[in-house]
């Protein structure tokens, strides 16, 4: 419900902002109408000076002995940040892809940090582990806003890349990503579920797509037929959105098996509920 109300808020904000460009261009439109169409003139739009932008290569930097470019903290802030989003169902390799990108950035000489939610304690809290066993040290936090403080402000200044895993569990994802990329010049790589077991938007992951440089939707393999799987089917009867679990609770499925699986689970639930009612009647 929270995600839906956020989406509604987002839509209403867009509706309001639609009026702004019209009022901005109204004086230019009037001036165009006052001329015959053959003398069409370019409206007086505000032009940005070329030197408004700081080219990446002109930022103060030093070439390290190993050839990597080392930047000071001020240059890091000036540099344009990036946001890359990796989504997909469970068992699609989101964490593996995130770790691969983080390790690649580290190999290029970047300072990296990885954050995950402290809600997921399946593999311990001090490291991030893929389903196939690859491990990387990480920060397990209840929210992202506490990261800067806990990591240390000086250490944060030195960071180039921030990885966020299980991003659906962070309610402050939007504000953190915007601040880190827009103002602090960080490259943020985010991995998370785009949808929950009912294929509803999960947490704030979809909210950051308008902020993103790139979005990658990974697929898994349907556990029932082997075709590409886009969805996560919950095999158990819990109804709440957040149930932490692995292959014991969830399985990746194709569209056809998601639909038939939901019907089967719903039917099983009705039977179980009717049994409970019968017992209470007896
Ligand atoms: Zn299937």
From the list 62, 82, 105, 166, the catalytic residue is 166
Higher-confidence residue of 210 and 61: namely 210
Instruction: Note whether 176 and 103 are same-domain residues.
Output: yes
Q: What pLDDT sits at residue 84?
A: 98
Q: Say if CB 160 and CB 111 are below 8 A apart.
A: yes
Higher-confidence residue of 34 and 181: namely 181
Assign 9 to helix, strand or coil. Answer: helix
Residue 34 CA from chain centroid, whole number: 48
Question: Is it the case that residue 90 has pLDDT exceeding 80?
Answer: yes
Say how many Å lie between the CA of residue 34 and the centre of ligand 1.
63
Instruction: Note whether 139 and 229 are same-domain residues.
Output: no
Chosen domain end from 199, 218, 237:
218
**51 within a domain of the structure (yes/no):** no
**13 within a domain of the structure (yes/no):** no
Question: Is it the case that residue 82 has pLDDT exceeding 50?
Answer: yes
Average of per-residue pLDDT values in the chain: 78
What's the pLDDT band for 60 if we cut at 50, 70, 90? very low
Question: What does the chain come to in residues?
Answer: 282
Instruction: Note whether 237 and 108 are same-domain residues.
Output: no
Residue 136 CA from chain centroid, whole number: 19
**55 within a domain of the structure (yes/no):** no
45 dihedral zone (left: phi>0; alpha: psi -120 to 50; beta): beta
**DSSP state, residue 169:** G
What does each C-alpha distance from 126 to 118, 146, 153, 162, 219 come to in angstroms? 10, 16, 20, 16, 27
**98 within a domain of the structure (yes/no):** yes
Q: What would the mean pLDDT of 47-65 be, rounded to a whole number?
A: 45
Chosen domain end from 218, 238, 271:
218
Instruction: Note whether 134 and 150 are same-domain residues.
Output: yes
Say how many Å lie between the CA of residue 271 and the centre of ligand 1.
25
Instruction: Note whether 136 and 235 are same-domain residues.
Output: no
The CATH number covering residue 280 comes to: 3.30.60.20
Structural domain harbouring 237: 219-282
Q: Say if CB 217 and CB 194 are below 8 A apart.
A: yes
Higher-confidence residue of 24 and 66: namely 66
pLDDT for 151-195, tens place per residue?
999 999 999 999 999 999 999 999 999 999 999 999 999 999 999
Q: What pLDDT sits at residue 51?
A: 46
Instruction: Note whether 214 and 230 are same-domain residues.
Output: no
Say how many Å lie between the CA of residue 215 and the centre of ligand 1.
25
pLDDT for 241-278, tens place per residue?
777 878 778 999 999 999 998 888 777 777 777 776 66
Higher-confidence residue of 42 and 277: namely 277
Question: Is it the case that residue 35 has pLDDT exceeding 70?
Answer: no
Instruction: Note whether 87 and 208 are same-domain residues.
Output: yes
What does each C-alpha distance from 146 to 15, 36, 123, 166, 214 come to in angstroms? 33, 60, 22, 17, 26
Instruction: Note whether 276 and 209 are same-domain residues.
Output: no
pLDDT for 110-141, tens place per residue?
999 999 998 877 666 788 876 667 788 899 99
The CATH number covering residue 75 comes to: 3.40.50.300
Give catalytic status of residue 166 as yes or no.
yes
Instruction: Note whether 250 and 170 are same-domain residues.
Output: no
Question: Is it the case that residue 8 has pLDDT exceeding 70?
Answer: no
Q: Say if CB 191 and CB 185 are below 8 A apart.
A: no
Structure tokens at 281: 């009647």
Please give the tally of structural domains in the chain.
2
Instruction: Note whether 84 and 186 are same-domain residues.
Output: yes
Q: What pLDDT sits at residue 33?
A: 41
Say how many Å lie between the CA of residue 252 and the centre of ligand 1.
9
Instruction: Note whether 141 and 177 are same-domain residues.
Output: yes
Q: What would the mean pLDDT of 54-71 be, rounded to a whole number?
A: 47
Rounded CA separation 161/271 (Å): 50
Instruction: Note whether 123 and 251 are same-domain residues.
Output: no
**189 within a domain of the structure (yes/no):** yes
* Nearest in space to 89 (alpha carbons), one of 261, 279, 263: 261
**DSSP state, residue 5:** H
Rounded CA separation 223/203 (Å): 25
Say how many Å lie between the CA of residue 257 and the centre of ligand 1.
5
């Amino acid at each position: 419900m929270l995600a839906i109300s956020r989406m509604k808020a987002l839509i209403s904000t867009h509706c309001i902002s639609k009026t702004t460009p019209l009022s901005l261009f109204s004086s230019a439109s009037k001036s165009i109408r006052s001329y015959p169409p053959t003398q069409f003139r370019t409206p007086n739009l505000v032009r940005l000076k070329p030197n408004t932008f700081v080219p990446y290569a002109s930022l103060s930097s030093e070439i390290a002995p190993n050839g990597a470019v080392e930047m000071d903290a001020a240059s890091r802030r000036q540099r344009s940040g990036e946001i890359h989003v990796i989504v997909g169902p469970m068992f699609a390799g989101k964490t593996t892809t995130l770790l691969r990108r983080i390790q690649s950035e580290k190999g290029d000489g970047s300072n990296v940090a990885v954050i995950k939610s402290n809600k997921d304690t399946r593999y311990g809290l001090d490291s991030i582990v893929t389903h196939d066993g690859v491990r990387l040290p990480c920060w397990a936090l209840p929210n992202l806003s506490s990261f800067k403080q806990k990591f240390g402000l000086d250490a944060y200044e030195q960071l180039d890349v921030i990885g966020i895993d299980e991003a659906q569990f962070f309610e402050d994802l939007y504000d953190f990503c915007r601040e880190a990329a827009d103002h602090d010049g960080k490259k943020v790589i985010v991995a998370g579920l785009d949808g929950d077991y009912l294929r509803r938007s999960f947490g704030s992951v979809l909210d950051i797509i308008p902020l993103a440089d790139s979005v990658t939707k990974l697929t898994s393999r349907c556990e029932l037929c082997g075709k590409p799987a886009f969805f996560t089917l919950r095999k158990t009867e819990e109804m709440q959105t957040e149930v932490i679990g692995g292959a014991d609770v969830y399985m990746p499925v194709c569209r056809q098996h998601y639909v038939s699986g939901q019907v089967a689970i719903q039917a099983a639930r009705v039977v179980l509920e009717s049994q409970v009612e019968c017992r209470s009647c007896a």
